[in-house]
Amino acid sequence: MSTTPLSAAGTHDLAGFRVNRIGYGAMQLPGPGVMGPPKDHATAIAVLRRAVEAGVNHIDTAQFYGPDVANALIREALHPYPDDLAIVSKVGARRDARGNWNPAQRPDQLRADVEANLRALGTERLAAVNLRLHSGPDGPDGEHVELADQLAAMVQMREDGLIAGIGISTADRAQVEQAIADAGIVTVQNAYSLLAREDEDVLALCAANGVAFVPYFPLGSAFPGMPKVAEHPVVRRIAERIGATPAQVGLAWLLHHDPHILLIPGTSSLDHLEQNLAVAGVRLTADDVAALDAARPA
Ligand SMILES: NC(=O)c1ccc[n+]([C@@H]2O[C@H](COP(=O)([O-])OP(=O)(O)OC[C@H]3O[C@@H](n4cnc5c(N)ncnc54)[C@H](OP(=O)(O)O)[C@@H]3O)[C@@H](O)[C@H]2O)c1
């Protein structure tokens, strides 16, 4: 168990919340394929409680995790919420009975889905909600919804007090530029890790605008087909030398890479949670950072 306080890794503003840079992502809590109940309900509750007890004040979630499972667990574990806890959700997708992730980008759907999050979590306002974009159509019938109209729906919800801040997710540089201009977004959530750095330009744009960049899949995700950070030989070599785990090295590199990066590693395990919290005390040398900077998928 780590003795280094989370704040040692620094903090960042998130829609008026001063959050620790080490947060927690709730997507690993539901069952396999992010569907259904957790494999161990008591452990899921314990993970959430331990995270907040250790200082996590930024939790990422979605109504479509489960669906309806992650938010119910957060409420059971943590309600009534501490005043400094920033719960961030996302809208723009719905699950069907087979677990497909279907786009749901119409303004009425975005609003209904923010309201569903508020009801499920038992709160009147979310710290931020990410507008989750998709590369294909914006609805199951092939419909298209202008990004400007989606952002306008988000701005209206902020004006109505349902959300404190707006984020955008899985967005390219042009979309992030538009979201900064039209909606004053406070966070971008894109896939990014030591071994998946395609969005370096989006990170630079966030840094220049004081927008939090929150990588999803920071370890390469639980899904197959993506390079796993903890399996990379350079990561493993450094981990062994400094007495850390490979996952910790991958997360520590993210923290080192840019001060606008906030972590939300997902885990269903108390042991992995402790490791991820303890990244606050992991120090990389300049040589370590240079070797990691040069690392590419094996
Ligand atoms: N905006 C979006 O579209 C979007 C998409 C995906 C995810 N997200 C958010 O981003 C968060 C992070 O992404 P993610 O959870 O998919 O991927 P991730 O954090 O890259 O990886 C999660 C995987 O790593 C394992 N893991 C976690 N900590 C570990 C450790 N210390 N050592 C070894 N293995 C460890 C987990 O297994 P165990 O459970 O066994 O620890 C799980 O298999 C999610 O939880 C979710 O909140 C957002």
Q: Which helix (H) or strand (E) holds 112?
A: helix 107-121
Q: Is residue 295 part of a domain?
A: no
Active-site residue 65, yes or no? yes
- Contact between 128 and 18 under an 8 Å Cβ cutoff? The reply is no
For the segment 77-123, what is each residue's pLDDT rounded down to a tens digit? 999 999 999 999 999 999 999 999 999 999 999 999 999 999 999 99
Q: Is residue 289 part of a domain?
A: no
Looking at residue 1, its pLDDT comes to: 65
Residue 139: pLDDT band (50, 70, 90) is confident
> Residue 273 to residues 25, 51, 72, 87, 177: CA-CA distances in angstroms?
10, 7, 20, 18, 34
**Ligand 1 touching residue 249 (CB < 6 A):** no
Q: Is residue 234 part of a domain?
A: no
Q: Mutation test of ligand 1: which of 40, 87, 190, 217 has the most ligand atoms closer than 8 Å to its C-beta?
A: 217
Among the listed residues 118, 261, 258, 138, the one whose alpha carbon sits nearest the alpha carbon of residue 188: 261
Tally of structural domains, the chain: 1
Confidence (pTM): 0.98
For the segment 197-256, what is each residue's pLDDT rounded down to a tens digit? 999 999 999 999 999 999 999 999 999 999 999 999 999 999 999 999 999 999 999 999
For the segment 169-197, what is each residue's pLDDT rounded down to a tens digit? 999 999 999 999 999 999 999 999 999 99
Q: Please check the confidence at residue 9 and state whether its pLDDT lies above 70.
A: yes
Q: Is residue 217 part of a domain?
A: yes
* Residue tagged 């507008």 (tokens): 131
Q: Is residue 241 part of a domain?
A: no
CATH number at residue 131: 3.20.20.100
Residue 59 alpha carbon to ligand 1 centre in Å: 13
Looking at residue 230, its pLDDT comes to: 98
Looking at residue 2, its pLDDT comes to: 66
**Full residue range of the structural domain in which residue 102 is found:** 10-226+254-269+276-283
Q: Is residue 237 part of a domain?
A: no
Average pLDDT, whole number, for the chain?
97
**Ligand 1 touching residue 276 (CB < 6 A):** yes
